[in-house]
Amino acid sequence: MGEYSAADEPLDGTGMRIAVIAARFNDHITKPLLAGALDTLHEHGVTGDVPVFWVPGAFEIPLVAKRLASSGVYDAVVCLGAVIRGDTPHFDYVAGECASGISHVALSTEVPCVFGVLTTDDLDQALARSGGAEGNKGCEAARTAIEMVALLQRLPSPARQGD
Ligand code: INI
């Protein structure tokens, strides 16, 4: 295998076990993200129950992602939220901790945790990316999850400690 990209093959989520986390904060945005993610997972062959775990806000996503990713039950976790800058300094803390927390969970568990969290300057930008003119970030996150699971299935397993 000289070169491999899961994106060169049809996305096939058959048999994949994928969980979704969605933040209630700004749920007029996260509900369409969730609908897009679930539709996309089903369209690409992820069958049966896709569990959805709601959390209060984006800041809470990493802890739940860690529990799900380290359970051994899921091949990937799709994380959905909407952090809107508005005029609160809270934005940088919430968005930054959410992003770095999700990344940390993926790296430490080796389970793809997809960042489907909108971080926008205003509500219009969030609306545009949750099913409006700029598409739906939830669909994109679902596709990324399937692609990453397929890619990881092709990669060598990590060496055991001491080898
Ligand atoms: N949570 C969000 O998901 N989006 C936001 O825009 C947001 N803002 O702006 O404050 C937000 N705050 C709540 C935060 O995620 C936590 O739920 C809260 O701080 C309790 O830990």
pLDDT digits (tens, 9 = 90+) for 115-133: 999 999 999 999 999 999 9
Tokens of 159: 């060496």
Structural domain total, the chain: 1
Mean pLDDT of 26-41: 98
Task: Let me know if residue 86 belongs to a domain.
Answer: yes
- Specify the pTM: 0.95
* CB 59 near ligand 1, within 6 Å: yes
Q: For residues 161 and 44, what is the distance between their CA atoms, to the nearest angstrom?
A: 36
Mean pLDDT of 24-28: 97
Quote the domain boundaries for residue 68: 16-152
Task: Let me know if residue 119 belongs to a domain.
Answer: yes
Using 50, 70 and 90 to split pLDDT, how confident is the model at 1?
low
* CB 55 near ligand 1, within 6 Å: no
44 is catalytic: no
Task: Let me know if residue 5 belongs to a domain.
Answer: no
Q: Which CATH number covers residue 47?
A: 3.40.50.960
Task: Let me know if residue 49 belongs to a domain.
Answer: yes
Tokens of 142: 């679902």
**37-41, 94-98, 123-127, 156-160: least confident range:** 156-160
* CB 26 near ligand 1, within 6 Å: yes
